[in-house]
Structure 1
């Protein structure tokens, strides 16, 4: 039998030779002095040979352990060489089956169930916060502590709610993998309790009076940002629609709108597709449940100004880097923060401001029936009307929506400049 001393002292010779250990194991020495462990065995009446690796990378003790394992396989009627090839192939498959591969397959299968806005949000969140850490890791190597470390990085920047949403998405991805036999369990399933508690129900900061609303609009109009952002902010204020709807607004969603002239467009309307709205899945592909937004003169003016600078894009408010994408998700939020509105007003706050001002006006002017229409304008379920009734009552009250929108804008735009003036406004200097 060999010893480490004999293995170390084995010298190169003019011809290759071998130093036997036991049970078919030997050290093979080449004329260049390279030494490797090999096993000689018989399987199916044929003599075969297995190479374990170079000495001293593979020690004498390790070589004997590999030999003993192969002997056990032979006793079970398994060829060690074939088993080694199977394990190598399996290891390559496992290494290639990474978290990002599984996540993108899950996303591809699920995205038809979501609105375009939500679908984009899911993929962006994974690409930004998860794939940099977990994307290249084989599924078998990912455990709860690794996922938790990824989530805590998000939590540490103050995005607690985002961390919880990411945990849910990672958990859904692993559940998808379990169903497909790709992983044995979902390591993210219990991590919610390891994160900070979700913040209580969010109330978007919003001004409550028309005077404060005018002040916010003035700050936005005069901000040192691109005309695209100023115009997006102004249309948000006029229509009081969700920021995501403004961001993803496409030219083909606008109807009865003449962008090539300065004439009136009394029937101009923005139809937000049902697929973009926050509705139950069964209604998202039913055009009868699209959300109508009548466009008053001031909104038409904004859109004409936008068309002068973004007509080459499918989006009304294209991003600064590519006309193929809309402005970034937080572009308007950052604008409001830079203008000192932190904690006072956010883009989403225009919905609260509109609701507060217009509901107060309706009550003080004996127009209680307008409160239902105000809710409809915000794509909310009107108070006192069930979801079932709303499905069957298709009255859209377009004319009254247009009148209330015009009233709102007349109060808000008492001294606002024309939208075309925003095209020439100051911009932030680049250092």
Structure 2
């Protein structure tokens, strides 16, 4: 183990040599007598060196503290050398040409072309995954390895498709910077082949009734915020798309205190870009009433638990299912497959009605486009049958939200 006396007394030689401390830290002594702190480590099975500064400008204690910080970064699965490079780039920053500044300029110009839901998802993905790491870095200081390192962190949490979407958004920002005269290259385009491939196919789903009931029981037993649990319940009761649920607003609902309650989802929030009516079961109405104390003050049903003026995270329900043990077995979108399979097995003559309930395209596209109330009474009956089937054996709403819950599910 080194001491200051040992470092001070170390003499240069004809060739550079090392004076070792512990944990990969050493002093590199050049023939000219310079003493440079370096930290040796492995990242992704490759040996790397991180320069920490010159002695005595960086003291022994400071070098050891820097080593421990680098080791913390390694434990989190990140490369200390890449982190150091980002910090150096940020020190030379012109705030008008940081990645975040250019990205927000690009977003303001493009968002008028997008649906409200898509625009929200675009900026939130950058705010969550990119701006905290690269937002302060000059647009021309970001290289392909830096982009790939950030996208790798997204991949490592299992969000492969999200990493590809964010890479495309970053690439659009770089192209905007080039066109605006403040950028010189598109490093996000270069890394596309290096990302893990998206394996497309059917969304994983449990499609037998007993298995689905077990999933609901186990997932609703998880520690989670009441809003998240109620969102999951409304999702499996109605079989709408997760995005349609996340952006639901109280103004979309009518007749909740009457015999024929409806959820009217406007066209701009629908995949098929046409209004969709969802007849509500007794259980769905009760879920909405249980939700009202948590979000009735907001226009949207499902506020983000940390930023309640925004809607809940697109990952909240997926993370809840994963925690319950259903990673790669069932995703939020999978409730639609569960509903379709189970109900079609029981009501084969109602296949077209079930398709309408799922907002699928009808063979008669004219009628499907203009008659949003088609089969409405039968849809109402089937919605109640489905709610009765899937709710059997589940905990009451009071039990669901009564126990202490995580603050940020």
State how far apart, in whole Å, the 2-side matches of 1:324 and 1:394 are.
31
1:184 deviates by: 4.1
Which residue is 2:351 aligned to? 371
State how far apart, in whole Å, the 2-side matches of 1:99 and 1:213 are.
44
Which residue is 1:168 aligned to? 168
Which residue is 2:100 aligned to? 100
8 A Cα contact 2:217 2:395, kept in partner: no
State how far apart, in whole Å, the 2-side matches of 1:299 and 1:394 are.
20
1:268 deviates by: 1.1
1:408 deviates by: 1.0
- CA root-mean-square deviation: 2.8
Secondary structure of the equivalent of 1:96? helix
Name which of 399, 402, 405 aligns with 1:424: 402
Q: Is 1:409 matched with 2:387?
A: yes
Which residue is 1:304 aligned to? 289
Aligned length: 317
Higher Cα radius of gyration: 1
1:298 deviates by: 1.2
TM-score (norm 1): 0.66
TM-score (norm 2): 0.69
Which residue is 1:321 aligned to? 306
State how far apart, in whole Å, the 2-side matches of 1:411 and 1:272 are.
24
Pairing 1:56-71 to 2, within 5 Å after superposition: none
State how far apart, in whole Å, the 2-side matches of 1:266 and 1:305 are.
18
8 A Cα contact 2:305 2:407, kept in partner: no
8 A Cα contact 2:225 2:407, kept in partner: no
8 A Cα contact 1:254 1:268, kept in partner: yes
Change (3 A) 1:342 1:109: same
Change (3 A) 1:416 1:193: closer
Which residue is 1:124 aligned to? 124
1:389 deviates by: 6.6
Secondary structure of the equivalent of 1:347? coil
Change (3 A) 1:389 1:220: same
More deviation in 403-412 or 179-188? 179-188
8 A Cα contact 1:236 1:350, kept in partner: yes
Which residue is 1:152 aligned to? 152
Per-residue CA shift, 1:160-208, capped at 9, x if unaligned?
A: 3222212211111122233333334433333312322x22214332222
Q: Is 1:333 matched with 2:318?
A: yes
Change (3 A) 1:429 1:326: closer
Change (3 A) 1:309 1:343: same
State how far apart, in whole Å, the 1-side matches of 2:401 and 2:183 are.
55
1:401 deviates by: 1.6
Name which of 249, 254, 268 aligns with 2:261: 268
Change (3 A) 1:162 1:266: same
Task: For structure 2, list consecutive stretches of 5 or more residues without a partner in the other structure.
Answer: 1-91
1:350 deviates by: 1.0
Per-residue CA shift, 1:7-62, capped at 9, x if unaligned?
A: xxxxxxxxxxxxxxxxxxxxxxxxxxxxxxxxxxxxxxxxxxxxxxxxxxxxxxxx
Q: Is 1:360 matched with 2:345?
A: yes
